Structure 1
């Protein structure tokens, strides 16, 4: 019997040169390496990246570490990483570990993507 995958990763690009990485299901020690791999591929295409956590049901300390590592990689590449759509449970982990201080966090990926636009509407 094949192992059951408890996560799904998808990506898209917006009209701005911003990549969006969608996390679904669980992010834990069992799949952090896949997130690192996909993030590194995205970083070659865009240094402005949003991780959309709207469908992320579970995040443990390994998953949090993976997201912080992604932020570090983005900054080292001269870019930035924004988060969006944190559920109450995921947001609580960020608050308890004070990791929310490291990130710009938005309610949805549309707002997070728009935050990369240096031109503000008048």
Structure 2
């Protein structure tokens, strides 16, 4: 599982998943890779630009990330969501649960 994490000057952690799918086949690896990042940061922007497909397992893993950051009084924002993935989020009404931004810069500004 390839995650690219960058600590911004503002203290916000940006994470990009360099995979095309987040599904039952790789969700376990995703959770394991995310765990140490979620422990060290309470403000996270998750870049979804490379994703082309997310299934219910992947959606559940993202919800777990959101819950963990909220428990620590932080926030977990999504950005750069491709249209097919966005359609799934809207179908499942997850666009009401997650804070979704068109660009990474928009998501970073939303923390201000």
SS at match of 1:55: coil
Q: What secondary structure does 1:54 align onto?
A: coil
Conserved 8 A contact 1:28-1:59 = yes
- For 1:17-71, what per-residue CA distance to the aligned partner results, in whole angstroms no more than 9, with x for missing partners? 1111102311111211222223221122210011100111211111111111110
| Partner residue in 2 for 1:10 | 4
Structure 1 counterpart SS, 2:46? strand
List aligned pairs for 1:30-49, cutoff 5 A. Answer: 30-49=25-44
Flag structure 1 segments of 5+ consecutive residues without an equivalent.
Answer: 1-6, 118-122
Equivalenced residue count is 111
TM-score by length of 1: 0.84
Which is strand-richer, 1 or 2?
Answer: 1
**Alignment match of 2:104 (pick from 96, 104, 109):** 109
SS at match of 1:17: coil
CA distance in 1, matches of 2:45, 2:38: 11
Structure number with bigger Rg = 1
